Amino acid sequence: MVLGGSGRGPHQGFAVKIAYADPPYLGCCALYGHEHGKDGRCWDDIGTHNVLIRRLEWEFPEGWAMSASSPSLRHILPICPEDVRTSPWVKPFAVFKPNVNPAYAWEPVIWRGGRQPRSREEPTVRDWFSGNITLKRGLTGAKPERFCFWLFDLLGLRPDDEFVDIFHGSGAVERSMAAVCGAASVLRLFYERA
């Protein structure tokens, strides 16, 4: 798809192509019935996450974000490009698992790039988010609307950008974008099955 301008280089005034990946977390594939992608790779294998990260680097050089679990961070960060940043989603309300203390009440978002540079007139976005988990959305790990809004701000998305949601999941990203833009199509929101 041809975007406004070249979509490359300085991002002021040009559309960018950015992706978000929320795969089954390393070691959690069973939560999703071992639903594997088109290539049949298991998400409990670090190699599958490596393939995803290489794809994000190659197909989305202007920016991408990926959610992960805090226990997996020590395995995933070494296979990421050196210039990634990690931002926490802190969960004031989270599900407490029996016999797990301290609780897992935060989740890392690994991200790279996004719209740069940003003007001094734009509000400064915090590199962390605090918000409760969702309940009864039909899918473990469904992201809340406020998380999606923060993610869009973090990556500097604008209405003429192309945003690719690699793991459609519960549809939370689409609903959030519709709330921001009035219609998901305004942002050129694409879904893919990984």
- State residue 76's pLDDT score: 97
According to DSSP H, which parts of 60-144 are helical?
73-76
Count of CB atoms within 10 A of residue 119's CB? 6
- Helix or strand run (H / E) with residue 65: strand 63-67
pLDDT at 74 over 90: yes
The alpha-carbon radius of gyration of the chain (Å, integer) is 16
Q: Which residues contact 134 (CB under 8 A, 6 or more apart)?
A: 142, 143, 144, 170, 172
Asked which of 12-26, 42-56, 96-110 is least confident by mean pLDDT, the reply is: 12-26
Rounded distance, CA 30 to CA 43, Å? 9
The token duo for 62 is 């202007």
Tens of pLDDT, residue by residue over 132-141, are 988 866 666 6
Q: Enter the pTM of the model.
A: 0.81
- Mean pLDDT estimate for the chain: 80
pLDDT at 99 over 90: yes
Rounded distance, CA 107 to CA 102, Å? 14
pLDDT at 53 over 60: yes
